[in-house]
Amino acid sequence: MTGFATSEVTVGALKLVWEIRSVNHRYLDLGFRLPDDLRALEAALRKLAGEELGRGKVDCNLKLVALGAGRGGVGIDAAELGLLRELEARVLAECPEAGRLSVLEILRWPGVLRDDAGAGEALAERALSGFGEAVAALRSARAREGERLAAMLAERLDAIAGLMQTIDEQLRTQAPRYRERLLERLGKLDVEANPERLEQELALIAQRADVSEEADRLKAHLGEIRDVLRQAEPIGRRLDFLIQELNREANTLASKVQDDELARRAVDLKVLIEQMREQAQNIE
C-alpha cells in the first residue's frame, strides 16, 4: 500500500501538477489539498480514487503553476487586471503591512484570465484526467512494491519450511532423549528406577511435549499462505489472518517443547513469523 506518483497536465497558462502519496492503513483514507477554484471536484476525485484503490492512507495534492499569458487561447483581460491593481493599491494604502499579490494569485482572480477557448471548463476536465493518470501510476508503484514484499514473504516461508523439517527430525528422536535425560538424573540421585513407573513418567512427558499437531497445522498454514500470495486480488486481510494463526501455533509449540534445541528452533520460528507479520501489514 506504499507508493508515490505524480502527473502533469497543461491548460492554457496553467500547469496542473498532481502528487499522490500512499502509506499503510487498514481502510481507504483519502485526503485532498486542492486550489479553491477546484474544490468542487473533490467528490468526483474521491469516487475515482475509491474505484481504483482499496486500502491505504492516500494524500492527494494538486498544485497550479503559472506558465504565462498567451498560451492555448488564454489571454489577460487588461480591464480586469487594472481593476485588480487599483484594489490592491487601496488595500496597501490602508494596510501597508499587507503583502503584494503574487503572479499566481493575480492569474487566479476571477476575470483576469480571458478564456478564448473554453479553458475554464477544460481546467476541471484536465484536473480529473491528470488525477486519473496519477492514480494509475500509484497503482503501478504499489504493485511493484507488492511484488517485492511477496518475494520477501516467500523467502521467509522457505526458511520456516526448512525449520519445520529440522523440528520434525528432532521430534522423531525426542522420546529417546527424554529417556536418557531422566535416567541420567536418576543416576545422579543414586535411585533405582522402577521400570513400570519410568515408562509412565516418560509417557506423561511425551504427552505434554507432543507438538506434532501444532507442527502439522503450521505446515498447512504455510501452504495456504503460498496459495494466497499467488492470487491476483486483494489479499491483505486474509494474509494477516493466516499469519496470526501461524503465530498462534508457533507460540503453542514454543510453550510445550521441553528440549533445549527445539526451544531454540521455536524462537527462530517466531522471529521469522514476526518479520512476515510486519511486512504483511503493507500488502493490500
Write out the DSSP string of 219-231.
HHHHHHHHHHHT-
- Could you report the per-residue pLDDT of 114-152, keeping only the tens digit for each? 654 445 577 888 899 999 999 999 999 988 888 899 999
Indicate the pairing of strand 74-76 with strand 113-115: antiparallel
Quickly state the pLDDT bin for 44 (edges 50, 70, 90): very high
- Name beta bridge partners: 6: 19
Res 116: pLDDT: 47
Residue keyed to cell 519410568: 198
Buried b (16+ CB within 10 A) or exposed e, 119-147: beebbeebbbebbbbbbebbbebbeebbe
Spatial separation of the C-alpha atoms in residues 211 and 208, rounded to whole Å: 8
Res 204: pLDDT: 66
